[in-house]
Amino acid sequence: MTLQEVRSLRAEVGSLCAISAPSAPCSLRPWGLRAGAFWVLRTGPALLSVRKFTEKHEWVTTENGIGTVGISNFAQEALGDVVYCSLPEVGTKLNKQKEFGALESVKAASELYSPLSGEVTEISKALAENPGLVNKSCYEDGFSRGRSGGLVFPSLSEFFTVYCDPHSQRLWHSQ
């Protein structure tokens, strides 16, 4: 397997929003949004540390100061069919662990908590129109991008790594 591999994802993944770090004087390098989306995979422990999970089942990946946030496969299964997704507007400033939106499934509105602080730069239109993508594609569609700030999120070390989470391991291998 190659160290870096870009693949379009079809299985159960979808991200919810991408958050930028507080700005640093770097040029903007937004992550290109293509149909079907993609992520970067690496093998070995380095690969497995790309996606970090919180204990509340939000996950985040970062690259060049851009964070992408979503909910885990475990969470989307527990929720059931998502019928509505309420996401923040582009430009909203988010604070770590604060509520930033909600998912509605089977008449239950579940709050979403931001695993990072930063500013929302892009949200997935696909998810707004088709909230069921959270179930079908919880790591791919439905995210917003963050602005490149060149900062390392200090809180990343607090998250569980993908390596530790049995659910995401299973997911990884299913590709």
Partner 1 sequence: MLIPFSMKNCFQLLCNLKVPAAGFKNIVKSGLILQSISNDVYHNLAVEDWIHDHMNLEGKPVLFLWRNSPSVVIGRHQNPWQECNLNLMREEGVKLARRRSGGGTVYHDIGNINLTFFTTKKKYDRMENLKLVVRALKAVQPHLDVQATERFDLLLDGQFKISGTASKIGRNAAYHHCTLLCSTDGTFLSSLLKSPYQGIRSNATASTPALVRNLMEKDPTLTCEVVINAVATEYAASHQIDNHIHLINPTDETVFPGINSKARELQTWEWIYGKTPKFSVDTSFTVLHEQSHLEIKVFIDVKNGRIEVCNIEAPDHWLPLEICDQLNSSFIGSKFCPIETTVLTSILHRTYPGDDELHSKWNILCEKIKGIM
Q: Does 156 bind partner 1 (CB under 8 A)?
A: no
Residue closer to partner 1 by CB (options 60, 171) is: 60
Side-chain-side CA neighbours of 109 within 13 Å: the count stands at: 6
Residue closer to partner 1 by CB (options 54, 73) is: 54
Query: Which residues from 16-75 bind partner 1, rule CB under 8 A?
Result: 56
Residues 144, 169: Cα–Cα separation, whole Å = 24
Q: Does 91 bind partner 1 (CB under 8 A)?
A: no
In whole angstroms, how close is the CB of 110 to partner 1 at the nearest point? Answer: 4
Q: Report the run of H or E that residue 108 belongs to, with start and end.
A: strand 108-113
Q: Does 129 bind partner 1 (CB under 8 A)?
A: yes
Q: Does 105 bind partner 1 (CB under 8 A)?
A: yes
Residue closer to partner 1 by CB (options 40, 128) is: 128
- Tell me the window of 66-74, 127-135, 138-146, 162-170 that interacts with partner 1 (CB under 8 A): 127-135
| CB-based contacts of 156, cutoff 8 Å, min separation 6 | 52, 60, 62
In whole angstroms, how close is the CB of 59 to partner 1 at the nearest point? Answer: 17
SS3 49: coil
Q: What DSSP designation does 39 have?
A: E
In whole angstroms, how close is the CB of 147 to partner 1 at the nearest point? Answer: 23
Q: Does 83 bind partner 1 (CB under 8 A)?
A: yes
CB 60 within 8 A of CB 67: yes
Cα 121 from chain centroid (whole Å): 13
Residues 100, 111: Cα–Cα separation, whole Å = 8
Interface residue list for partner 1 (CB under 8 A): 56, 83-84, 86, 102, 104-111, 113, 128-129, 131
